[in-house]
Amino acid sequence: MFKNLKELNLIFKSSGINNYNFLIFLILINSLFELISLGVLIPLIASLFDSSLSDKIFNFISSIEFLGINKFAEINKNNFFTLFISFILFIYILKYIINLYYNFYLSQIKILYEKKIARQIMENFVNTSNFYFFDIAKSKILHDITSRLSTVSNSLINTANLFVESIIFFIIIIFSVASLGLNSVYYLLILIFLSTLFFGFFKKKAIEWSMERGEGGNMRTKNILDILEGIREIIIFGSSKFLLKEFELSNDKFLNPLKKILFWNTVPKIILEFGFIIFILSYFLYAIHNSLDYQQILISTTMIVIILSRALPSINRILYNYSQLKYSTEPINSIKSIIKLTDSKNSDIKKVNFLKEINIKNINFFYTKKIELFNNLNLLIKKDKKVGIIGETGTGKSTLIDIISGLKNPQNGEVLIDGQTINSIGVKNWIENISYVSQRVYLFNTSLRNNITFVGDNEKIDEDKFKTAVKFVNLKDLILEKKEKEFFLVGEFGKNVSGGQRQKIGIARAIYSNRPIIILDESTNSLDEKAEEYILENINKLKNKTVIFITHNKNSLKSFDYVHKLDKNSIIKI
């Protein structure tokens, strides 16, 4: 449990959450009033059955001179107990107000912390210089943010409640010894022993179920993404049977551990209540066989019932919150690892100017030890030149672009920018010089204008740059035919535009960004011949731009300064 708390604290600190002072204060105040409300009730109920006890209470009050409390003894006994009952009512009202505020505050900071952690994770993704997270399945990341994160923030409530109930239970033990003697503690010790046995059994199981549920959640999210992304192929090829079976298996793996944890969370309550009945009945038998005074039996039983009515729920809540913390092991570890992996921000924000050349020297790159992609590869790209790269599928064209961009690191060799390595100048600083257009341009579910400029529709943009970008790829007709003009929504995953229009928007995005290097990765293969020729003509007219164009079509590179071919783990000039 303490390991989980330590990991939880690291997650909070990484998300800028450092101060728990007010929460600790509320935990203590809430615990205090829980105990006071229990303490004031016992003497009142006991005095109703024993008149001598009420006299003792009355005499005790009359002996207290602090704050003039003894003056309450000057009134008659009935009025005194009326005031005493009113005081108890006030304590309970205050207790419930504090308890309501405590739960309200916990709910508030649970949501606040979840927002902060989610924001931090997303901020890390877009700002990190550690691009190893590219190798993490999107389904896992999606499950982290949509499911695991809620479990992690719930752990804060579990932790707070665990501390509250532990404090209450500890003081109840002390109170029981003072009120009922050591014999009363035996039952509580038996409860503690049974709870310890439950902890020991449940600890490993909770972690095991947590890991199983996490794995099942990753698989289920992956299946959902596969079905949603490939719905056309599924319908056309009739492949739903296999995918639905996969989803059913992963859904079972995700939900079955929850079924087990929900059941085991109910077990302590049943055991404790059964133990309570056994204890009360045993006490009655003991009292009858030992001819105890019935008034004393009634008083003792009442006090025991009052104490256990708070002690039993306290033990049950301790067990529940403990089990929830153990069950949160996998989500806590997963969220911590994703934050740690992406928490490598580039603190050096100096502007890097690309002045002369990109020099790729003697690089080796392996996907695995057995699969070598590049062996001693060398390539020189001069500033403001247009360079074409061709090659068969699987020769590493896109990987080479990732290495040039700094998104991937070769196992050997180096990439020099004007004589400096990418790592020395900062990956994020270097990327600021690059515009990248992939084969399948990603479009956000926003307006066409926003997808080109990355500026909100209510914000100002550079209209001249926007018009130039639109003209560069000939998107004018598409805009004119839409009622909303450039503000029309391209739809989820760009469903409202064709494949060719998608690529035009991607190239327009690169032109609008006006960066010195433009990388095109099979970025015209969805265009018709006329549209491709138009864009290639405009690319060849670009001044003060370094263009790196990857394609299967050598004819598209006729006017380029250099053309290179990837072949047999290396690259040659043709």
Closest CA to 146 of 337, 343, 333, 331: 331
Strand partners, 382: 357
- Note the pLDDT of residue 240: 72
What pLDDT is stored for residue 237 in this prediction?
Answer: 61
Q: In 10 A of CB 481, how many CB atoms?
A: 9
Q: Which helix (H) or strand (E) element contains residue 365?
A: strand 357-366
Q: Tell me, what's the pLDDT at 546?
A: 93
pLDDT of residue 85: 81
Contacts of 423 (CB under 8 A, 6+ apart): 406, 409
Helical axes 463-473 vs 529-541, angle rounded to 10°: 130
Residue 557's alpha-carbon distances to 163, 282, 514, 517, 566, in angstroms, are 69, 94, 22, 17, 15
Q: What gap in Å lies between CA 97 and CA 116, rounded to an integer?
A: 28
Q: Give pLDDT tens digits along the chain (574 positions).
A: 677 788 877 788 777 777 778 888 888 888 888 778 877 776 776 666 666 666 666 666 666 666 556 665 566 666 767 777 888 889 889 989 998 998 898 888 888 888 888 888 877 777 776 666 667 777 787 888 888 888 888 888 888 888 888 888 887 777 777 666 666 566 667 766 766 676 666 667 777 887 888 888 888 888 887 777 777 666 666 667 777 888 888 888 888 888 887 787 777 777 777 777 777 777 777 777 777 666 666 667 777 777 777 777 787 788 788 878 887 888 888 888 878 777 655 445 577 888 899 999 999 988 776 778 888 899 999 999 999 998 888 788 888 988 898 888 888 999 999 989 888 888 888 888 999 998 888 888 889 999 899 888 888 888 999 999 999 999 988 888 888 898 998 888 788 888 888 899 999 999 999 999 999 988 888 888 888 889 999 998 898 999 999 888 788 888 889 999 888 888 888 8
Model pLDDT, residue 515? 92
The side-by-side arrangement of strands in the sheet containing 517-521 is 434-437, 517-521, 546-550, 386-391, 562-567, 570-573
pLDDT digits (tens, 9 = 90+) for 91-148: 889 989 998 998 898 888 888 888 888 888 877 777 776 666 667 777 787 888 888 8
Local structure of 128: helix, strand or coil:
strand
Short-list 193, 179, 185, 154, CA closest to 35 = 179
Q: So what's the pLDDT on residue 67?
A: 58
pLDDT on residue 383: 93
SS3 category, 348: coil
pLDDT of residue 517: 93
**What is the spatial distance between Cα 304 and Cα 275, in angstroms, rounded to a whole number?**
13
Q: Which of 489, 350, 509 is nearest to 424 (CA)?
A: 350
pTM of the predicted structure, to 2 decimals: 0.69
Tens digits of residue pLDDT in 336-362: 887 877 765 544 557 788 889 999 999
- The C-alpha atoms of residue 265 and residue 274 are separated, in whole angstroms, by 16
- List the structure tokens of 475: 């998107």
CA angle in degrees (0–180, nearest 5) for 10-13-14: 85
